[in-house]
Amino acid sequence: MIDSQLRVSGVTDPVVLGAMLRVPREDFVPAAARDVAYIDRAVPLGDGRFLAAPLVHGRMLAEAAPTLSDHVLVVSGGSGYLAALVTPLVASCVSVDAAAAIAPARDAAGAYTLILVDGAIEALPASLVARLAEGGRIVTGVAERGVTRLAVGRRIAGTVALLPLTDLGIPVLPEFAARRGWSF
């Protein structure tokens, strides 16, 4: 995985590679899928959830550049793998499922310096933006017209604009679907 998927795709940060070496992916998939835990595509977990490909998590962590002073919120895509990767690299890490992430925040507004969404979203809800500290970073997948891209953003003046970086096959989180409206 390190040599054949990550390094050849530009993920070379020693901190990221070390984290991915330490956390065995096979511990985050059903027993029947352990043989394919390192495949270069998403692994189905059941109930419409997936463990994203190693490259997705490697690129997310490389773009996030977590530090020991970060307080991180991970929006789980169902596996718990991303939270396991980032936890030793930061001051604190809280993981919530996608449904809890879109609900009004129970924790303090602006409590997190970094939010990682382990999946692709169509819309970024205000309830999630409210959890991000001013100047805080967010790394997520963005789904637009069937194409998913890795994207980054920063909360400035209370808002977040996401900048798409690269096309990447990221499983879509249905809880973050954009509102459907009528159009011509």
**pLDDT (tens digit, 9 = 90+) per residue, 31-87?**
999 999 999 999 999 988 999 999 999 999 999 999 999 999 999 999 999 999 999
User: CA angle at residue 53 from 100 to 39, to 5 degrees?
Assistant: 140
User: Count of residues for the chain?
Assistant: 184
- CATH number of the domain that residue 131 is part of: 3.40.50.150
In a domain, 181, yes or no: no
pTM (2 d.p.): 0.94
Per the structure, how many domains does the chain have?
A: 1
In a domain, 66, yes or no: yes
In a domain, 23, yes or no: yes
CA distances from 48 to 26, 51, 108, 162, 171 (A): 18, 11, 30, 25, 10
In a domain, 63, yes or no: yes
Domain of 160 in residue numbering reads as 2-176
Mean per-residue pLDDT for 80-106? 93
Percent with pLDDT over 70 in the chain: 98
In a domain, 78, yes or no: yes
In a domain, 182, yes or no: no
